[in-house]
Amino acid sequence: MLQSDGRRSADTHLLHAEFPGLKGIAIYLKDESTHPTGSLKHRLARSLFIYAICNGKVGRGKTVVEASSGSTAVSEAYFARLLGLPFIAVMAKNTSPQKIASIEYYGGRCHLVARADEIYEAASAVARETNGYYLDQFTYAERATDWRGNNNIAESIFEQMSAEPYSIPTWIIMGAGTGGTAATLGRFVRYRGFRTKLCIADVEHSAFYEAFRTGNKETRCSEPSRIEGVGRPRVEPSFIPSVIDRMVKIPDAASIAAMRIISRRLSRPVGGSTGTNFFAACWIASEMIERGESGALATLICDSGDRYRNTYYCDNWLRDNKIDISPYVASIEEFLDSGNAGGLFDLESTSL
Ligand X SMILES: Cc1ncc(COP(=O)(O)O)c(C=O)c1O
d(CA 15, CA 29): 5
Closer residue to ligand X, CB minimum distance, 26 or 174: 174
d(CA 301, CA 8): 22
- Is residue 181 close enough to count as binding ligand X by CB under 6 A? yes
β-bridge partners, 171: 197, 297
* One-character DSSP codes across 286-306: HHHHHTT--EEEEEEE-BBGG
Rounded to a whole number of angstroms, the CA Rg of the chain reads: 19
Among the residue ranges 7-15, 170-178, 191-199, 212-220, the one whose residues contact ligand X (CB under 6 A):
170-178
What phi and psi values does residue 78 have, to the nearest 5 degrees? -60, -50
- Residue 330: CB minimum distance to ligand X, A: 26
Segment (H or E) for 244 = none
Among the residue ranges 78-86, 101-109, 173-181, 213-221, the one whose residues contact ligand X (CB under 6 A):
173-181
- Is residue 33 close enough to count as binding ligand X by CB under 6 A? no
- Residue 163: CB minimum distance to ligand X, A: 27
Residue number with the shortest CB distance to ligand X?
229
Secondary structure tally for the chain: helices H, strands E: 13, 11
Among the residue ranges 65-73, 83-91, 119-127, 247-255, the one whose residues contact ligand X (CB under 6 A):
65-73
- Residue 238: CB minimum distance to ligand X, A: 7
Q: How distant is the alpha carbon of residue 126 from its chain centre?
A: 26
Exactly one of 21, 229, 269, 275 binds ligand X (CB under 6 A); which one?
229
Closer residue to ligand X, CB minimum distance, 103 or 141: 141
Decide if 297 contacts 30 (C-beta within 8 A).
no
Decide if 222 contacts 279 (C-beta within 8 A).
no
Binding mask 122-161 for ligand X (x = CB under 6 A): -------------------x--------------------
* One-character DSSP codes across 43-77: HHHHHHHHHHHHTT---TT--EEEE-SSHHHHHHH
Binding mask 286-325 for ligand X (x = CB under 6 A): ----------------xx----------------------
Residue of 70, 139, 78, 61 lying closest to 111 (CA atoms): 70
- Residue 271: CB minimum distance to ligand X, A: 5
Closer residue to ligand X, CB minimum distance, 14 or 288: 14
Beta strand 295-301 with 349-351: parallel, antiparallel or unpaired?
A: unpaired
Among the residue ranges 57-65, 174-182, 291-299, 325-333, the one whose residues contact ligand X (CB under 6 A):
174-182
Exactly one of 12, 71, 170, 349 binds ligand X (CB under 6 A); which one?
71
Decide if 232 contacts 92 (C-beta within 8 A).
no
Residue of 67, 5, 15 lying closest to 36 (CA atoms): 5
Interacting positions 236-265 with ligand X (CB under 6 A): none
Exactly one of 69, 255, 286, 299 binds ligand X (CB under 6 A); which one?
69
Identity of the residue numbered 209: Y
Binding mask 195-214 for ligand X (x = CB under 6 A): --------------------
- Is residue 177 close enough to count as binding ligand X by CB under 6 A? yes
- Is residue 180 close enough to count as binding ligand X by CB under 6 A? yes
Q: How many residues bind ligand X (CB under 6 A)?
A: 20
Q: At what angle do helices 137-144 and 180-192 cross, to 10 degrees?
A: 20
- Residue 70: CB minimum distance to ligand X, A: 7
Closer residue to ligand X, CB minimum distance, 270 or 285: 270
Residues found near ligand X in the complex (CB under 6 A): 39, 41, 69, 71-72, 141, 175-182, 229-230, 271, 273, 302-303
